[in-house]
Structure 1
Amino acid sequence: MEQKKIEQEIKEIHEKLDFITQQLQETCKHNQEMQELKNDLALVGKDMFDAAVEGLEDVAPYFDTSDLLHLGKKLLRNTRNLNRMLTQLESAEDLFHDLKPLGKQMFDELLETLNELDRKGYFEFFGEAFKIIDTIVTTFDVEDVRLLRENIASILLTIKDMTQPEMLNSMNNALDFFKKMDVVIKDEVSFFTIMKKLRDPEVKKGIAFSLEFIKNMAQQGNGHSKQA
């Protein structure tokens, strides 16, 4: 009985030793891996340090530790300003998000307006108008434009006078008269008939207008001749 108990205890001791041995092996393996990682990190750190030193050598003439200290102080002094600036940036971002749908709506309305103008023929009209301007530019020279500039006031005054109701009425009457110029008088007209026609108020007005028109034309012609 005692022998079995001793054997059982020895077996338990062996099992514990095996467990301890396994734990020691795993610990050694873990320590070895950590050592390898430490060595790798040391190499990487050394490379990074060497690269940093090499990079700082390029900026060494322009940088000093006092500059870094001065920058730190300035950042601390302007912390509130930086906070306000960040707040304004956040407000601007919120405003942008609020205006984004409005901008899309305005863009859609602009496209709709341009489409409507194109449908009505505005772009085609302006294209032809540009061709008119191109024709004017290629047809007239600088001297013609200068003469137009010098006489534009007289031209506009003439157009203004021509658009007066009395002048338009007279022009319409003249056009109606010229339309009827092809009237053929078949019967012989006697002197008595002419004298009878002269008693017509409309005929008198026409003769008076013709005489006044010829008189004014003659006066204008004499005036231009004297100026020349």
Structure 2
Amino acid sequence: MTTLAPDQVSRLEEKIDALTDQVSLLQMEAVESQRRRQQWDELRDDLAPVAEGLMARATDEFAALEIDTDAITHTLRTLLSNIEIIERLVTRLDTIEQLLSATGEIAPSAVEKLIEGLGQFQERGYLDFARGGVEVADRIVTSFDYEDIHALGDNVVLILNTVKEMTQPEVMHMLRRTATAARADAPKELGIFGMMREMRDPAVKRGMGRLVGLLHSLGETNENTTTTTNPLETKGE
């Protein structure tokens, strides 16, 4: 009987161990392959009825669908004959897309400028003034009826002429001086001789002359003027 050297025995044992490991690995791979094959078989069994139903449904639909080859041919010919028009439409769509893109970039800055402008209007009081104007207009609308507006329209020329005369510089200066005098301290009491002395003042003489002229104008009658309803008379008065 042949006796092996110790080193040969050791190498043989290593080879046997390596072979055992390879056999174990092959066995594990075989088990894994069998498991996967079983899963695929189960999935195929589950999907087979669904696939058969879909195929049957598709077969029925295609069978019911009547394909008109003449219509398809006519459509293809129409598309080919109008290919230039389609190309121009696509080019225009690209241009519109570019325009919308540029507009989208400009819009935020425009909105920011608008908000900034509204903020400046608010700081300067324009919005408050406009709000007050709306309130005044609302009061006018609720205080006058159709008859009042109609009477106002009949006399609008006379009203505008009166406003024009009232805004003359000399009239405005006179009104300002009158308001200043009315806000002044209470005048001292004058006796008869004091009034006679004041009558010699040229300014008093001019004022008396204007007062007399005003009284004369108030006393005049205009035969061409007819009495109309006061357009400034509010409802309920």
What is the TM-score of this pair, normalised by structure 1? 0.63
- 1-structure distance, mates of 2:69, 2:171: 92
- 2-structure distance, mates of 1:40, 1:179: 102
- 1-structure distance, mates of 2:63, 2:137: 70
Is 1:141 matched with 2:145? yes
- 2-structure distance, mates of 1:47, 1:174: 102
Structure 1 counterpart of 2:109, one-letter code: Q
Structure 2 counterpart of 1:150, one-letter code: D
Deviations 1:16-53 (A, max 9, x none): xxxxxxxxxxxxxxxxx9xx99x997864442232244
Q: Secondary structure at the match of 2:187?
A: coil
The residue that corresponds to 1:78 in the other structure is: 82
The residue that corresponds to 1:98 in the other structure is: 102
1:160 alignment partner, one of 156, 161, 164: 164
Deviations 1:167-221 (A, max 9, x none): 112223333455569423355518xx83x655543333223222222222211xx
The 3 A distance-change label for structure 1 pair 134 and 53 is: farther
The residue that corresponds to 1:223 in the other structure is: 222
The 3 A distance-change label for structure 1 pair 180 and 214 is: farther
Q: Offset at 1:161?
A: 0.8
Q: Secondary structure at the match of 2:88?
A: helix
The structure whose residues are more often helix, as a share, is 1
Deviations 1:122-176 (A, max 9, x none): 4444333323222222222222222222222222221111110011122233334
- 2-structure distance, mates of 1:180, 1:43: 106
2:136 alignment partner, one of 116, 120, 132: 132
Deviations 1:79-101 (A, max 9, x none): 11111111221222223223322
Give the count of matched residue pairs: 184
- 2-structure distance, mates of 1:136, 1:226: 27
Structure 2 counterpart of 1:210, one-letter code: L
**Bigger shift: 210-219 or 44-53?**
44-53
In structure 2, the gaps of 5 or more residues are 1-40, 228-237
- 2-structure distance, mates of 1:87, 1:198: 93
**Bigger shift: 122-131 or 71-80?**
122-131
Q: Where do residues 1-228 of structure 1 align in structure 2 (5 Å cutoff)? A: 44-54=54-64, 56=65, 64-178=68-182, 182-189=186-193, 194=196, 198-219=199-220, 222-223=221-222, 227=226
The residue that corresponds to 2:32 in the other structure is: none
The 3 A distance-change label for structure 1 pair 154 and 102 is: same
In structure 1, the gaps of 5 or more residues are 1-32
- 2-structure distance, mates of 1:84, 1:127: 52
Q: Secondary structure at the match of 2:157?
A: helix
The residue that corresponds to 1:21 in the other structure is: none
- 2-structure distance, mates of 1:91, 1:227: 69
Structure 2 counterpart of 1:205, one-letter code: R
* Identity in percent: 25
What is the TM-score of this pair, normalised by structure 2? 0.61
The 3 A distance-change label for structure 1 pair 46 and 79 is: farther
Structure 1 counterpart of 2:160, one-letter code: L
